[in-house]
Amino acid sequence: MSTTISSSTKRMAAAALVAALGVTTLAACGTEDVRDAAGKTGAPAPKTVTLVSHDSFNASKEVLAEFTKETGFKVKVLKAGDAGEAVNKEILTKGSPQGDVFFGVDNTLLSRALDNGIFVPYEAKGVDRVPATYRLDKENRVTPIDSGDICVNYDKKYFADKKLAPPVTFDDLAKPAYKDLLVVENPERSSPGLGFLLGTAAKYGDEGWQDYWTKLKANGVKTVDSWELAYNQEFSGSAGGKQAKGDRPLVVSYASSPPVEVLYGEPQPKVAPTGVSTGTCFRQIEFAGLLNGAKNPEGGKALIDFLISKKFQEDMPLQMFVNPVAKDAALPELFTKHGVVVEQPETMAPEKIAEKRDPWIQQWSSLVLK
């Protein structure tokens, strides 16, 4: 909240606007959308619970309807930009949040969110079904919901044609056999790009990753600004890349990308056109938390319980292309058939990421971009 502009000024301005905009505002008030947007204080607990998330959030209609049936709460979803933007917006509106629950803060942003106190503790029912490796906050201010791996993907056709074995590890990527083949995202502007950088830092150490990137640079690594540009423009294994004559058969993407390629094939292929270099992965964990100042905390708690329920966990993979964290949730056939299991992903503590992120990105920029 702004400290200099009192709420009475706000109300006056608001009243003046209602008068001035007249027709437009009246027309707007006529619809039910505006009615359910206004938080009613003092009345019995609102029937709507609002979930704030990033742009990639998805859930199937049936599963959300199931939640309403079980609890009586209707879920309203607000998408607040990409993951970083969404978290910053929550920090900015701390105490007067846009919704009740926030989903989508990952391990690279977790410290920033927790240090700013946007969440209040809540131990979700059934959280004991989630392995301890995912439960990074001991105070339960956030609950792990899903995990995914950021890995190098390869264009199977390219390597088959060249009779070359695709790379498997970080070390491989710096070998002469794979010169000028890899495209990565700028870690400052893209979350897979950041994940990949953190993966190399976890692998080669705080002082070793710079040497590795010097080698990658000498081996012709190309950097672009976003995943969209890397995957749809530069990567030779995607539909967009083929049309754009993309000439990079290696791209930083997700371990789930090959099954998604199958799902959205036209027609669906029998095997995925792309593969995963399983030794180049960085583990991303996404969390949800009850927002500090939520208007409907009861609904919010019920929603967090629901997010780790078997039903939601099993719905997630095909909606957001991530893995469930609850032990009892089974993966869909698409994933077991076309996906890979990443045995040893690189990881890093959120506190360390928060501390090193900016200096590392700066070092990376002067090392790779200049």
Partner 1 sequence: MAAPVVFFALFFAWPVVSIVERGLRVDGAWQFGRFGETLSRPEILDVLWFTCWQALASTGLTLLIALPGAYVFARFDFRGKGLLRAVVTIPFVMPTVMVGTAFLALVGRGGLLDGLWGVRLDGTVWAILIAHVFFNYAVVVRTVGGLWAQLDPRQEEAARVLGASRWRAWRTVTLPALAPSVAAAALMVFLFTASSFAVVQILGGSTYSTLETEIYRQTVVRFDLTTAAVLTMVQFVAVGLVLAVHARIVRRRETALRLVAPEETARRPRGAGQWALFVVVLVSVALLIVLPLGVLVERSFATSHGYGLDYYRALQTPDPSGTFLVPLLDTIGNSLRYAVVATLIALVIGGLAAAALTRRAGRLVRGFDALLMLPLGVSAVTVGFGFLITLDEPPFDLRASWILVPLAQALVGVPFVVRTMLPVLRAVDDRLREAAAVLGASPWRAWREVDLPLVRRALLIAAGFAFAVSLGEFGATVFIARPDSPTLTVAVARLLGRPGELNYGQAMALSTILMVVCAVSLLLLERLRTERTSGEF
Interface with partner 1 in residues 306-325 (CB under 8 A): 318-319, 321
Please give the Cα distance from 36 to 76 (Å, whole number).
10
R_g over Cα of the chain: 23
Instruction: For partner 1, give the closer residue by CB, 134 or 278.
Output: 278
CB 287 within 8 A of CB 143: yes
Q: Rule CB under 8 A: is residue 152 a binding residue for partner 1? A: no
Beta carbon nearer to partner 1, 134 or 360: 360
Number of Cβ within 10 Å of residue 340's Cβ equals 18
Of the candidate residues 127, 260, 276, 281, the single one contacting partner 1 (CB under 8 A): 260
**Nearer Cβ to partner 1, position 7 or 133?**
7
Distance between CA atoms of residues 145 and 313, nearest Å: 8
Contact partners, residue 145, CB within 8 Å, separation at least 6: 103, 286, 287, 288, 307, 308, 316, 325
* 337-340 contact pairs (CB < 8 A, 24+): 337/259, 338/258, 338/259, 338/262, 338/271, 338/272, 339/255, 339/256, 339/258, 339/259, 340/255, 340/258, 340/275, 340/276, 340/278
Q: Check binding of 155 to partner 1 (CB under 8 A).
A: no
* Complex with partner 1: residue 125 or 367, whichever CB lies closer: 367
Q: What's the closest the beta carbon of residue 10 comes to partner 1, in angstroms?
A: 6
115 in contact with partner 1 (CB under 8 A):
no
- Token pair for 49: 């619970």
Cα–Cα nearest to 321, from 199, 149, 75: 149
Number of residues that bind partner 1 (CB under 8 A): 87
Q: Which of these ranges, 29-37, 100-108, 283-291, 302-310, lies near partner 1 under the rule CB under 8 A?
A: 29-37
Task: For the CB of residue 88, give the shortest distance to partner 1 in the complex, in Å.
Answer: 5
3-state secondary structure of 364: helix
Stretch that binds partner 1, among 25-33, 120-128, 204-212, 213-221 (CB under 8 A): 25-33
Are 70 and 296 contacting, i.e. CB atoms less than 8 angstroms apart?
A: no
Site for partner 1 in 196-225 (CB under 8 A): 223-225
The CB density around residue 16, as the number of other CB atoms within 10 Å, is: 10
Residue from 107, 143, 186, 296 touching partner 1 (CB under 8 A): that is 186
Select from 264, 270, 343, 344 the one that contacts partner 1 (CB under 8 A). Answer: 264
Indicate the residue among 102 and 134 with the shorter CB distance to partner 1: 102
Smallest gap from residue 225 Cβ to partner 1 (A) = 5
Binding-site string for partner 1 from residue 67 to residue 106, where x marks contact by CB under 8 A and - marks none: ---------xxxxxxx-xx--xx-xxx--x-xx-------
Minimum distance of partner 1 from residue 171's CB (angstroms): 26
Residues 347-366 that bind partner 1 (CB under 8 A): 358
Exactly one of 42, 44, 163, 266 binds partner 1 (CB under 8 A); that residue is 266
Distance separating alpha carbons of residues 31 and 21, to the nearest angstrom:
16
